Amino acid sequence: MVKICCIGAGYVGGPTMAVIALKCPSVQVAVVDIAQKRIEAWNSDKLPIYEPGLDDVVKQCRGKNLFFSTEVEKHVGEADIVFVSVNTPTKTTGLGAGKAADLTYWESAARMIADVSKSSKIVVEKSTVPVKTAEAIEKILTHNSKGIKFQILSNPEFLAEGTAIQDLFNPDRVLIGGRETPEGQKAIKALKDVYAQWVPEDRILTTNLWSAELSKLAANAFLAQRISSVNAMSALCEATGANVIEVSYAVGKDTRIGPKFLNASVGFGGSCFQKDILNLVYICECNGLPEVAEYWKQVIKINDYQKNRFVNRVVASMFNTVAKKKIAILGFAFKKDTGDTRETPAIDVCKGLLGDKAELSIYDPQVTEDQIHKDLALSKFDWDHPLHLQPMSASSSTEKQVTVVGDAYEAAKDAHGLCIMTEWDEFKTLDYKKIFDNMQKPAFIFDGRNVVNVDQLREIGFIVFSIGKPLDAWLKDMPAVA
């Protein structure tokens, strides 16, 4: 029986290993983590992450061939294949701060693997890491190996949150990078055999190590770039009276471009896009390619511009002040069907409004009150790892200005404006007439995700702003300078 151990029971490690266990009954999978609470949650009825379909998969395998444990060293020691899926946040201090990936967790995991291994192992990079990390890890392992043989593979994960289980069941491709030596090829084959139990062979691509590592960064950069491109167009649409939905539909009909990932929004979020682009920018700079670095940096700049533009639009529309006005925030997660708030655009928008002294009433179906307060207490440069976060001082705390409520109607009650930050399905079917009746007048809706029916809402009486759509006369009279 092949034994797999995955270090890191997070958004990537947890779902990926659960699906491997489900699809490969003859493989024994142990997912280990140093965070005891997280492991307890994986072993309980309330899993630590919300992901449609995940509960079901875990229930089918847990205790059979899928185990969650804090006994990191024991399971690593016993495994044939060790996946490393620890967090790789952006460095916040020191060399490369704000751009380079922080590989502290990776390095300590690698040293531990070398320490506890008594038999040969395949070590698989699952977290997104800078190009050439595998080489560094290989050095740590071989210099500490006590004669044991390690093969390093890069097997980047392409799942998206909210659709992780579907993405894992039916991936566009599985990418496995390894050394071009006979031992390297043998290791690639061993991992390929695992995936081949449910993924068609022609979707399992094998490359060298660096190509696999770079492909992951490149894929995320390309996806983010499409969003920044359509978001840049959304600003032009608003200025000229075109409708970004029509423009992106027409553009996407070109088969060379394709229709996916062209939805204009208040900005992209999530733990990957910004982090991976910053990483790419850093690698380009380190390799003497400032023009290439600058090109990719623009993707993030447009994303920040889009969030600022949204805040400015809200404030400008409401007579240039939101001080002491209640504003409802619907949705806080970075996209629908997840409770994850890492780099969610809602954080920057809320902070912008709070900076203008608004009072926010926030509702999200999955994000906890505690998480929202934590996120809003962090200063901007904190990227995505809680350990590095410095809370704001008590005097600048925003808790008094923020309430978190249990449904959209309560959030909107007596509010002057309502901002939609996440495209949760339930926001499409709210009783907007009821919401309108209970709001202050004029009542504003700012849709950062293009989920509402603008014409219907205008008929009810709302003043509506929807990203990239023709503006109300009201908004034209109150131009927002970004």
The residues of the shown chain that bind ligand ADP, judged by CB under 6 A, are: 7-13, 32-35, 38, 72, 85-87, 105, 108-109, 127, 271
- With a CB cutoff of 8 Å and minimum separation 6, the contacts of 215 are 156, 175, 207
CA-to-CA distance for 471 and 477, rounded, in angstroms?
Answer: 10
For ligand ADP, which is the closer residue by CB, 17 or 328? 17
| Closest residue to ligand UDX: CB criterion | 270
DSSP 89-108: PBP-SSTTTTTSB--HHHHH
Return the amino acid letter for 174: V
Active site residues: 272
Length of the chain, in residues: 482
For residue 454, the minimal CB distance to ligand UDX (Å) is 18
* Strands of 174-178's sheet in order across: 66-69, 27-32, 2-7, 81-84, 121-125, 150-154, 174-178, 204-208
Residue 51 as a binder of ligand UDX (CB under 6 A): the answer is no
Closest CA to 357 of 302, 420, 401: 401
Part of the chain binding ligand UDX (CB under 6 A), chosen from 91-99, 267-275, 377-385, 466-474 = 267-275
Specify the DSSP class assigned to residue 215: H
**267 φψ region: left (φ > 0), alpha (ψ -120 to 50), beta (else):** left
For ligand ADP, which is the closer residue by CB, 10 or 267? 10
CA-to-CA distance for 344 and 235, rounded, in angstroms?
Answer: 20
Closest CA to 162 of 363, 411, 334, 383: 334
Give how far Cα 346 sits from Cα of 16, 263, 337, 449, Å.
Answer: 28, 17, 15, 11
Residue 19 as a binder of ligand UDX (CB under 6 A): the answer is no
Q: Which of 50, 106, 150, 268 binds ligand UDX (CB under 6 A)?
A: 268
* CA 301, 303, 306, 310 torsion-angle sign: negative
Number of residues engaging ligand UDX in binding (CB under 6 A): 19
Residue 123 as a binder of ligand UDX (CB under 6 A): the answer is no
Q: Is 423 annotated as a binding residue?
A: no
Q: Is 275 annotated as a binding residue?
A: yes
CA-to-CA distance for 215 and 212, rounded, in angstroms?
Answer: 5
For ligand UDX, which is the closer residue by CB, 151 or 279? 279
For residue 246, the minimal CB distance to ligand UDX (Å) is 15
Three-class secondary structure of residue 246 per DSSP: helix
State the binding partner of 108 from ligand ADP, ligand UDX, none, CB within 5 to 8 A by kind. Answer: ligand ADP
For ligand UDX, which is the closer residue by CB, 151 or 341? 341
For residue 158, the minimal CB distance to ligand UDX (Å) is 4
Part of the chain binding ligand UDX (CB under 6 A), chosen from 104-112, 270-278, 295-303, 465-473 = 270-278
Q: Which of 160, 190, 205, 218 binds ligand UDX (CB under 6 A)?
A: 160
For residue 86, the minimal CB distance to ligand UDX (Å) is 16
Q: Is 111 annotated as a binding residue?
A: no
For residue 39, the minimal CB distance to ligand ADP (Å) is 9
Residue 261 as a binder of ligand UDX (CB under 6 A): the answer is yes
Give how far Cα 449 sits from Cα of 8, 234, 365, 479, Å.
Answer: 32, 12, 16, 20
Q: Tokens 């151990």 map to which residue?
A: 5
Residue 218 as a binder of ligand UDX (CB under 6 A): the answer is no
For residue 460, the minimal CB distance to ligand UDX (Å) is 26
Residue 270 as a binder of ligand UDX (CB under 6 A): the answer is yes
Binding-site positions for NAD(+)? 8-13, 33, 38, 86-90, 127-128, 161, 272-275, 342
Binding-site positions? 8-13, 33, 38, 86-90, 127-128, 161, 272-275, 342
Residues that bind ligand UDX (CB under 6 A): 157-161, 220, 223, 227, 261-263, 265, 268-270, 272-273, 334-335
